[in-house]
Amino acid sequence: APLKFIQPLQDTDVINTQNGTLTCEIQGIPKANVKWFFNDIELKSTQKQSISSKQNIHTLT
């Protein structure tokens, strides 16, 4: 089955000194391999940002 956004990303405003979280829910077979990008550069988990996937929920904090 094609991938389907069950919960798409929401527009989010965050002040520079605050943390923000982006979350989406994607369903499909095979399971989605989600990658996060900023200005065409793939983001990875670091001390400043966390990327997680649990079941169909994908989060960038």
Q: pLDDT tens digits for 9-37?
A: 999 999 888 899 999 999 998 888 899 99
Domains identified in the chain, total number: 1
Averaged pLDDT score across all residues of the chain: 92
**Identity (one letter) of the amino acid at 12?**
T
Contacts 24+ apart (CB under 8 A), 19-23: 19/61, 20/61, 21/59, 21/60, 21/61, 22/59, 22/60, 22/61, 23/57, 23/58, 23/59, 23/60
pLDDT-based confidence at residue 54 (cuts at 50, 70, 90): very high
- The model carries a pTM of 0.83
Domain extent for 31:
4-11+19-60
